Each structure stands twice: as C-alpha cells, then as structure tokens.
C-alpha cells in the first residue's frame, strides 16, 4: 500500500475523532516567528481532512489544500468548502502542480513524515517564494515513561499492522536541521490533554494508519485490546491522556 492510500477507509474517523489544533496559539506563534499575515497565500501539503487548512482559512488566508487521497480530499471539501479562499487540489508533496515561487508559506500537519523528503523538499523550494518558510504542525498524545503511555505504545506495537515503521517516521521532527542544512529551524511544543470516552478512544485509534480495519483478521483483537486498555486507565468513564502540539518552522539556506 502506498502512503497516499494509507488513510483510505479512515477519513470519517479522522474527521470526527482526531485531535484538533490549538488554533489561537498556533496562529500567534506563526505571526511572531515568521510574520504571518492574512494576505499570505498558504499551501497546506497533505491536507487530509482540512484540520490545519481550516486555521488559515479562518485567518483569511488564500489557502491551497493539496491532498492525494480521494476520501480525505472529500472530507476536506466537506469541512472547509464554505470558505471562498479554498483551492483544493489532487496532487502530492513531491509534485504539487503549483507554479514556481507562488506561495508565501508551506504548511504540513501530521503529514510531513509521509513525504519522500528527497523529492518533496526541492519541490517546496520551487513553489515557495525565496526566503519564506515551511511550517510543520502536529498534535497527538504525549509519549513518555508513564504507565499509560507505555501501555498504549505496547498495544499499538502488538496489535497495529506496522507501528514500528510508522513510529520511526515520526522522528523526522528531531532531525529537521539535516533536511534544511544551513537554513533556519525553530521549534516549540505546547502541552495539553484530552479526555476520551471508550467510543472516542476507539474512533481516534481507528483513524491511525496502522490500525487494522474491519475485515482484517487482526481487527477484533485490536478492539479488544483498546477496551482492556481503556478500562485499566479510565476514571468515571473517561480516559485522560496528555497531549503535545509540536510546531516547527524551517527556512531553506539562501
């Protein structure tokens, strides 16, 4: 399965249950760090269901959402289609179809680790105005040494289809200096938490690319493990998980 098809069958769960971004804090940081204004044209690459796209549309930015997966693109149209400033394109990070030096800001939310960086980064340089920024914004459960975090990591490793491979990809945010050599990298993390019912935990887990879908012989065991995990750590019917929103702003060397 190619990366562009990993979320086929998951768009509805993704749209309903995935964590949303702390909009005011993300926009404040982008204004302070890179001088974002509402007049900037934004290309949101790997836009998915449009969760990050929507932040820029609400800010007034002309925003181009690039998403190769048909189901995710349809969900993006559903979520963001009311905005007249939205342009939705069926394309990839490696071949965006956009004109040279046509965008003020490139963004990626929970998608950058899926890109073929050897091909995507030259494409970013081609479409981005010289001296402008690439911003990666991601949010998810915090991974630490707590029993809750370790138990969930074990669940995904044991019952997910290829969690070790996916987890290694997430680490790309730790080596951005090597992807933008001689350039500029600024990073921060915003702590938070989420409270989940069993339904929400299950829905969020089923939006993960490594979760076995219904029809997969591993699906039933995955659901059973989620229920066991929930009942082990919940309190009064709610599971509280720490979360982290990571923001990375990168600029290519001149």
Helix (H, G, I), strand (E, B) or coil at 129: strand
Query: Which of 68-77, 171-180, 192-201 is least confident?
Result: 171-180
The share of the chain scoring above pLDDT 90, in percent, equals 81
Does residue 168 carry a pLDDT above 70?
no
Q: What is the pLDDT of residues 190-247, one digit of tens each?
A: 999 999 999 999 999 999 888 998 999 999 999 999 999 999 999 999 999 999 999 9
The continuous run of DSSP H or E covering 79 comes out as: helix 70-80
- Integer angstrom CA distances of residue 86 from 11, 29, 56, 63, 142: 19, 23, 10, 5, 32
- Integer angstrom CA distances of residue 77 from 8, 34, 64: 16, 28, 12
Per-residue pLDDT, 1: 44
Computed over every residue of the chain, the mean pLDDT equals 92
Per-residue pLDDT, 167: 57
What are the chain's domains?
A: 3-141+169-193+243-251 (3.40.50.150)
Closest CA to 45 of 76, 71, 66, 73: 66
Using the structure block, give the residue that is written with the tokens 């074990």: 154
Per-residue pLDDT, 14: 79
Q: What whole-number distance in Å separates Cα of residue 37 and Cα of residue 170?
A: 29
Tokens of 204: 């969020």
The backbone torsions φ and ψ at residue 205, rounded to the nearest 5 degrees and listed phi first, read -65, -35
- Tell me the pTM: 0.92
């Amino acid at each position: 399965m190619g990366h562009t098809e990993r979320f086929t069958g998951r768009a509805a769960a993704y749209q309903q249950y995935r964590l949303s971004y702390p909009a005011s804090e993300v926009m404040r940081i982008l204004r302070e760090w890179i001088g974002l204004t509402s007049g900037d044209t934004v290309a949101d690459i790997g836009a998915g269901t449009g969760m990050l796209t929507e932040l820029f549309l609400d800010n007034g930015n002309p925003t181009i959402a690039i998403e190769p997966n048909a189901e995710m693109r349809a969900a993006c149209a559903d979520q963001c289609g009311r905005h007249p400033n939205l342009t939705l394109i069926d394309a990839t990070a490696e071949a965006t179809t956009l004109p040279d030096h046509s965008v003020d800001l490139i963004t990626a939310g929970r998608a950058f680790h899926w890109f073929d960086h050897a091909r995507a980064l030259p494409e970013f340089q081609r479409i981005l105005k010289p001296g402008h920024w690439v911003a990666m914004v991601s949010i998810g459960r915090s991974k630490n040494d707590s029993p809750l975090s370790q138990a969930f990591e074990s669940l995904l490793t044991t019952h997910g289809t290829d969690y070790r491979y996916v987890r290694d990809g997430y680490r790309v945010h730790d080596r951005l200096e090597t992807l933008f050599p001689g350039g500029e990298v600024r990073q921060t993390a915003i702590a938070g938490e989420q409270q989940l019912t069993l339904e929400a935990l299950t829905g969020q887990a089923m939006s993960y690319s490594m979760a076995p879908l219904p029809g997969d012989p591993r699906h039933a065991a995955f659901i059973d493990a989620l229920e066991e995990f929930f009942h082990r750590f919940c309190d009064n019917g709610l599971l509280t998980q720490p979360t982290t929103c990571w923001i990375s702003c990168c600029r290519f060397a001149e």
